[in-house]
Structure 1
Amino acid sequence: MFDKYFEDFQLGDVWESKGRTITEADIVMFSALSGDWFPLHTNIEYAKETQYKQRIAHGMLVLSITTGLVHFEPGVVVAFYGMDKVRFTNPTFIGDTIHLTGKVIDLKSKGSNQGVVTVLQEVKKQTGEIVAVFEMKLLVNQKTIE
């Protein structure tokens, strides 16, 4: 998706990523990395007593995994610019396969050589349910004119 220059994007451009299955190892490694051992994610017996009846992936883990589902071309993408309106709308369970759909919803020039591309991202699982939605902003180079 982010392998083209700012002026090559159009409002309404859409794309879909490949899928990625969430594993128990993902949850354990993310808990260790982040220090977030909340029992809804890491304790089977605790999770059985919740409305979800099983462990769920951390919301921030789901967002982190989505960064690996997007192609960011070095030299085109300058930097991650931010994220707005993040919502977790359904649980992501161990064994769910998630993918992203994206739609360009805003383009803002930042001078003569860069711009911010805003993409409405939906994280969906194999059932089609949306598990997270957010607006991602990336600072992208414009083509260099020689």
Structure 2
Amino acid sequence: MLTVDRYFEDYALGEVRRSVGRTITETDIVLHAGQTGDFFPHHMDAEWTSTQPFGQRIAHGTLILSVAVGMTAGDINPQSMSYGYDGIRFIKPVFIGDTITVAAEIVDRVEHPKRPATHGYLHEKVTVTNQRGEVVLVLTHLYLVNRRP
């Protein structure tokens, strides 16, 4: 990990970060179920899901969200912190053996309404695709970022 000081003014609209791929495994799904308590058959019961429309187990949407956000967290920026997520949509299912990649694009820069001289918000559109190039998840990641002193 690299520590990089980037202030609100240093980010440009349209700036994009792209990840390498990561394959989702059965172990990922089992661990996520244990951590969250979500043992619904859609994720855990291969026999039952074989009778359902997708025909196989699907990864938890929250697992894919967590993995995708982690895939974009390469450098540490002490001038920025996550403020939350908006517009989370699980577009298509992710199956065991699917490989996901992530693109994160700065789509908006907004001054802080109460502290515009010292802070701003970045809105980063996060798009997760599978190995077939199909979008499986989208969200907006919000960052609270210090302005340059």
**Alignment TM-score, normalising by the size of structure 2:** 0.88
Which aligned pairs between 1:49-60 and structure 2 lie closer than 5 A?
Answer: 49-60=51-62
Once residues 30 and 44 of structure 2 are traced to their aligned partners in structure 1, the CA distance between those partners, rounded to angstroms, is: 7
Name the CA shift for 1:72/1:109 in 2 (closer, same or farther; >3 Å): farther
Identify unmatched segments of 5+ residues in structure 2.
Answer: none
The structural deviation recorded for 1:83 is 1.2
Pick aligned residue for 1:88 from 81, 87, 90: 90
Identity %: 39
Residue 125 of structure 1 is matched in structure 2 by 130
Q: 1:24 deviation in Å?
A: 0.5
Shift of 1:74: 3.7
Counterpart among 138, 145, 148 of residue 140 in structure 1: 145
What's the counterpart of residue 30 of structure 2? 28
Choose from 56, 76, 79 the match for 1:76.
79
Bigger drift between 107-116 and 41-50 goes to 107-116
Larger CA deviation: 66-75 vs 5-14: 66-75
Deviation at 1:72, TM superposition (A): 4.5
Q: Specify the SS of the correspondent of 1:41.
A: helix
Aligned equivalent of 2:118: 113
Q: Extract structure 1 runs of 4+ deviating beyond 3 A.
A: none
Q: Deviations over 1:66-95 (max 9, x none)?
A: 121112524122x32121111111110111
SS at match of 1:60: helix
Extract unaligned runs of 5+ from structure 1: none
Cα distance, 1:18–1:5 mapped onto 2, change above 3 Å? farther
Give me the whole-angstrom Cα distance separating, in 2, the residues matched to 1:20 and 1:90. Answer: 17
**Code of the aligned partner of 1:75:** P
Shift of 1:5: 2.0
Q: 1:124, 1:132 within 8 Å by CA — same for their partners in 2?
A: yes
Instruction: Kindly provide the amino acid, as one letter, of the partner of residue 31 in structure 1.
Output: A
Query: After alignment, is 122-131 or 68-77 more displaced?
Result: 68-77
